[in-house]
Structure 1
Amino acid sequence: MQIVTSWMEEGIERGIERGIEREKNFILRLINRKFGQIDLGLETKIRSLNIEIMEVLGEEIFDLDTVEDLQSWLENV
């Protein structure tokens, strides 16, 4: 029974991680669509955000006009 439980927990954790990665990829696609391809350093910084901040960024995208605005927003997080 213990083995089954640990497999289930591992499966749940993997599912959560995949969901978070999908959400980050989606927000990065939105950013790239709005601003064009961003540089790797900026993408890495965005990927390092925790999921709560990433969700806020997903909403803030509509208020950001330039890549510089995005960089400024990230510096103030």
Structure 2
Amino acid sequence: MRLEPLYQRDREQAKKEGRQDLIQRLLNRRIGKTDASLIGRIKGLSIEQLENLGEALLDFSNVADLENWLNQQSI
């Protein structure tokens, strides 16, 4: 059994979780505490979407901006 694919999957998951944590901290600082439903939506984003959110959140001024951004991702 080759363990390399398992390690790769674990690394990718750790990378995604790290980005999610960072995005959450940045959002809390920028727009305040976000509710559980928004956190759940953020956790469903791909790594690329998380990177895009990291850039976009610099322009957010309230929770509505985050909600609008998330709604545009499901289009």
The normalised TM-score by structure 2 is 0.87
Does the 8 A contact of 2:31 with 2:60 survive in 1?
Answer: no
Contiguous gaps of at least 5 residues in structure 2: none
Deviation beyond 4 Å, 4+ runs, structure 1:
none
Offset at 1:57?
Answer: 0.5
Distance 1:21 1:58 in 2: 14
Q: Which residue of 2 aligns with 1:20?
A: 16
Distance 1:11 1:62 in 2: 33
Which stretch shows the higher mean deviation, 8-17 or 66-75?
8-17
Amino acid at match of 1:49: L
Distance 2:12 2:68 in 1: 30
The normalised TM-score by structure 1 is 0.85
Q: Which residue of 2 aligns with 1:55?
A: 51
Report % sequence identity: 32
Across the aligned residues of Structure 1 and Structure 2, the Cα RMSD in angstroms comes to: 1.1
Bigger radius of gyration: 1
Equivalent pairs counted in the alignment come to 73
Does the 8 A contact of 2:30 with 2:60 survive in 1?
Answer: no
Contiguous gaps of at least 5 residues in structure 1: none
Amino acid at match of 1:43: I
The within-5 A match list for 1:1-77 is: 3=1, 6-77=2-73
Offset at 1:38?
Answer: 0.6
